[in-house]
Amino acid sequence: MHLACSECHAVATADTLFCDACGGLLAFVLDPSAHDAQQLRRRFAERRLSDDPLDTSGVWRFRELLPRIAAEHVVTLRENVVPLYEARVGASYADATSLSYLHLGMNPTASFKDAGMTAAISHATSRGARVAVCASTGNTAASMAAYASRAGIVALVLVPAGGISEAKMAQTLDYGATVVAIEGDFDRALEVVRTLDPERVAIVNSVNPYRIEGQKCAAFALLEARGWIAPDWLVLPGGNLGNTSAFGKGFREALALGLIDRLPKIAVVQAAGAAPFARVFHEGGELQPVHAQTTATAIKIGAPASWRKALAEVRGTNGTVLAVTDGEIGDARAVIGRDGIGCEPASAASLAGLRKLRAEGTIAREADVVLILTGHVLKDGAYAGAYHASAAPFANAIRSAPSDAALQALIDEVTDATGATRG
């Protein structure tokens, strides 16, 4: 595997983040001819029975397809071992017949970031880095803080003041990071991080190609869980667009390796107030940054760093990009809850987007669809509380029973409504 520019394809000579020739983002290039699909499938499956720390990670289990890092430098929390759930209520809400959720919120720090972070922090450790730094809307911060602590290195996090959920802040502080709340949004925080010297600090935002390598393993885990049969569509939320780049790369490599025989189409869903990627996808030209506004704080991003990579991946699959309103995200999140699963607001953009793509006929009712849930339901309790206290369609208000008689009446009402009998 070697590093090259994702835009001008110049080969990178050092461990840098941006291309010396054109400033583009770097990406690892895999040589598919060096591998045998049958052998890979067998090896990946065998490792699921092993207790070796590398094999119990849903990232390092796929290590033949990753940049080489010596085992003693690998920092793992057994990330990317995640469930694929049938989505019954979600399917009916979107008017689809074959729908599942890949729940990346079931990771050690409860978001998809862990799959990338194990790779980025392991690489930083192998280079002898002492400090890891990131800009974040909360999940990258929590994940980086956890892995940096495991590695024994300092974590420095830049977040928009007042812009991340209480749970994400609590995790990040618990894991021991130095948190700086800046006057400005995520885009400003990332701008500052990009000016830092990568020789002095390890920058672990998704501009770091190791992050993408780790996160592409979610595509491998998904395909493996489906017997190496690609779905028709993969629908996921898009913010800074590292995850779209990672899934696209994972699917492309799986196809080139002969692990699958076709590419799933990728649909990226943005919040309407933070949708510069949807616009550039449909209108062409250069991405025009926006001042992002959405209650789905995780994807409140107006100048996505990986838009070029992500655009190439989505176009390469004949996929699409769309935007949904905050109201649609809120309802979709509550519906995912009714499946007994739940997720954080940004994740639910996926179901809101699917519903829209079904309504306009872009995705057929019978299509085999996987939704990516990027973060756990407990990531944002305040959001859920506000939704259920509102008059929204799936709001589930807290009932009160001011007296014993009122309580008895309520119990009778609930049990009678279900036709429950005693005994």
> Which residues lie near ligand F0G (CB under 6 A)?
111, 113, 136-140, 206, 237-244, 298-299, 344, 346-347, 374-375
Output the smallest distance, CB 116 to ligand F0G, in A.
9
Considering the complex, state which of residue 330 and residue 375 has its C-beta at the smaller distance from ligand F0G. Answer: 375
Output the smallest distance, CB 238 to ligand F0G, in A.
5
Output the smallest distance, CB 127 to ligand F0G, in A.
23
Output the smallest distance, CB 240 to ligand F0G, in A.
3
Considering the complex, state which of residue 5 and residue 298 has its C-beta at the smaller distance from ligand F0G. Answer: 298
Considering the complex, state which of residue 140 and residue 320 has its C-beta at the smaller distance from ligand F0G. Answer: 140
Please list the alpha-helical segments (H only) found in 300-401.
Answer: 307-316, 326-338, 345-359, 381-388
Rounded to the nearest 10 degrees, how much is the dihedral formed by the CA atoms of 198, 204, 209, 211? 160
Output the smallest distance, CB 139 to ligand F0G, in A.
3
Considering the complex, state which of residue 156 and residue 298 has its C-beta at the smaller distance from ligand F0G. Answer: 298
β-pairing verdict for 84-86 and 98-103? antiparallel
Taking CA 173 as the corner, what is the angle to CA 168 and CA 176, rounded to the nearest 5 degrees? 130
In angstroms, the CA 17 to CA 207 distance is 7
Which two three-digit tokens encode residue 174? 């618990």
Output the smallest distance, CB 55 to ligand F0G, in A.
27
Considering the complex, state which of residue 91 and residue 167 has its C-beta at the smaller distance from ligand F0G. Answer: 167
In angstroms, the CA 375 to CA 160 distance is 19
From residue 26, give the alpha-carbon distance in Å to each of 4, 57, 108, 176, 226: 5, 25, 27, 30, 30
Considering the complex, state which of residue 231 and residue 242 has its C-beta at the smaller distance from ligand F0G. Answer: 242
User: C-alpha 365: how far from its chain's center?
Assistant: 25
